[in-house]
Structures are given as structure tokens and as C-alpha cells.
Amino acid sequence: MILDSETKAVELPEDHGTELGLWLRLLTCTTLIEGEVRSRLRERFDVTLPRFDHPMASSTLMRLLAKTKAAARKSAQARAL
């Protein structure tokens, strides 16, 4: 019987030590890279990298982005005067 990856992971967990180690290493690398990007953005540009931890309806997100874009446009116009 041929097993798919998900079934093998559940039924034969001892066979997946290498895969688990790889995923944990990838997670560690991702976390380190994200931390470095956040740090550089904060130090060089005084900007933070937003995190979308809570799901949001796309209509709500689009409305918030439109407000942000409008506010940025007004700010740029005010500086130009």
C-alpha cells in the first residue's frame, strides 16, 4: 500500500526525524531573517513591519488601505506647500 506524506507522518512518525529537523531549521531561519528585516527597517527608516495576526475581511483591509493612501496623499500635499 502506498501512503501519502500526511498519512506517513501520522502512521510512521519515526521515519520523519530528518523532515522534522529540516522544518524546524527552516522555521529558525525564517524567524532570524524576519527579525533582521524588522530591525533594519526600524533603524534605517523608522518603519515597522506590520503583522497580520488576526484574519480580516478583504473589504475591511481594502477600506483601511484606502484611508491610509488618502492620508499619505494629504500629508505629501501639505509638505509640498
CA 58 to mean position of chain CA atoms:
17
Q: Which of 24, 26, 3, 25 is nearest to 15 (CA)?
A: 3
Is pLDDT above 60 for 9?
A: no
Separation in Å, CA 65 to CA 11, 34, 46, 78: 45, 23, 20, 20
Does residue 61 or residue 13 have the better pLDDT?
Answer: 61
pLDDT tens per residue, range 25-57: 898 999 899 889 989 988 998 888 776 556 666
Q: What's the pTM?
A: 0.45
CA 13 to mean position of chain CA atoms:
29
Q: Percent of the chain having pLDDT more than 90?
A: 10
Number of domains composing the chain: 1
H or E segment to which residue 31 belongs: helix 17-45
Cell 506517513 locates to 8
Q: Percent of the chain having pLDDT more than 70?
A: 70
- Domain with 41 in it: 5-80
